[in-house]
Amino acid sequence: MATLTSTIIETLTLDGQTFDSTKIKTISSITQVLKTIVECPTSEINIVTFASAATGISTLDQDDVEYVRLTNLDSSNFITIGIEKESSTASIAAFRLDAGRSFILPISNTATEHPQFFASAAAHDSSATQIDIETITALANSSACKLEVFIALNTTT
Amino acid sequence: MATLRVTHTEDIVLDGRQQGSTRTMTFENIEDTYTRTFTFSQQALTSLYSTDAAALSGAVQDDSSVKYVRITNVGKEAIIINIIAETENHWAYEIQPTESYYLYSHNLAALADKTDDITTTEMKDLKDVDEVKAYCVRNTGRVEVFIASTGTNL
């Protein structure tokens, strides 16, 4: 087992003032890392799937997922990332990941809590129930882009 | 004008080998910043900032100028971050203490739906991010908000 330390350092000097910042998050009990670079076409593809049990290399046990980072490695084009639940009541949150930018999926990091979200296209509802994320998808906007995927797991079996 | 550099490092040694990585994002031509550490009431959906194309003020950002946003949970309880796009598209995540959430472009950047899958056509028709709110179920919430923007279109 190992500890993952994620550090974000911001450096900015504007009008003689510094706006520097360092944020550190540690996640213990990491046993596996999935790190890959995927070519995303201009049609939507599945990047990773979360399920109640792991299957093969890209369907992960949702209990084990502790950290997910996606980085658009392209120099100019953006990728639309989809955070999806496909079974029963389908939900999706899609957002633009510009060239060179990274997205870190918020994850609860308690022992077996799943990556979750909620989405709606209707009136705002702050009390809506969070639901499990089942799939992360990607769609390159204008031409194929490379996407770096980094996932840390606390798998014990 | 200035350049914001954001360096993201993952450090993990597994099986005797470093398996982390470092990525650096560069944001050129930064002219405006907004920084606030903010405490908000329990179970009150609270606006952290909003965007507009013209009517700007201290916490109202130009949606085409915002390039980088970090929202860090500096409180003791988990909070919900609610991202709201045009036409009431919105989604949310739970953010644990010490965890940060990052947003970049707010212009034509988001879409959400809970009724069905989104088609490829819809995924290419993204909306502006209009507002970001926070909510804390169990106690008062506390967040740090940092926004860096290029010059506005005033």
| Each residue's pLDDT tens digit, B90-113 | 888 889 999 999 999 998 888 877
- Could you please state the CATH topology (level 3) that the domain comprising A32-153 is classified under: Jelly Rolls (2.60.120)
C-alpha B50/C-alpha B53 separation (Å) is 11
Higher pLDDT, A18 or A130: A18
Residues of chain B with pLDDT under 50: 154
Give exposure, A34-55, as e/b (b: 16+ Cβ within 10 Å). Answer: beeebebeeebebbbbbeeebe
- pLDDT band for A5, please (50, 70, 90 cuts): very high
* Domain assignments of chain B as residue spans, ordered by start: 30-149
Question: Residue A97's closest chain B neighbor by CA?
Answer: B104
Chain B within 8 Å of A57 (Cβ-Cβ)? no
Contact call for B9 and A100, based on CB within 8 A: no
Closest CA to A33 of A137, A126, A153: A153
* pLDDT, averaged across chain A: 88
* CB–CB contact A102 B123 (8 Å): no
Contacts of A44 in chain B (CB under 8 A): 120, 123
Select from B19, B35, B47 the residue whose CB has the most chain A CBs within 10 Å, as the one to mutate to test that interface: B19
**Do residue B90 and residue A120 have CB atoms under 8 angstroms apart?**
yes
pLDDT tens for each residue of A75-122: 999 999 998 887 766 788 889 999 999 999 988 766 667 888 877 776
Q: What is the ipTM of this complex?
A: 0.87
C-alpha neighbours within 13 Å on the C-beta side of residue A19: 22
Closest chain A residue to the Cα of B46, Cα to Cα: A126
Average pLDDT, chain B: 88
Find chain A residues with C-beta within 8 A of B28's C-beta: none
As to burial, measured by CB atoms within 10 angstroms (0-12 exposed, 13-18 middle, 19+ buried), residue B132 is: buried
Question: Which residue from B4, B117, B124 is facing A90, i.e. has the nearest CB?
Answer: B117
Q: With an 8 Å Cβ cutoff, are A98 and B108 in contact?
A: no
A12/B112 Cβ within 8 A? no
Domain boundaries, chain A: 32-153
Residue of chain B whose alpha carbon sits nearest to that of A154: B14
Whether residue A11 contacts residue B4, with contact meaning beta carbons closer than 8 Å, is answered with: yes
> In terms of Cα–Cα distance, which of B111, B123, B130, B143 is closest to B66?
B130
What's the fold here for domain B30-149?
Jelly Rolls (2.60.120)
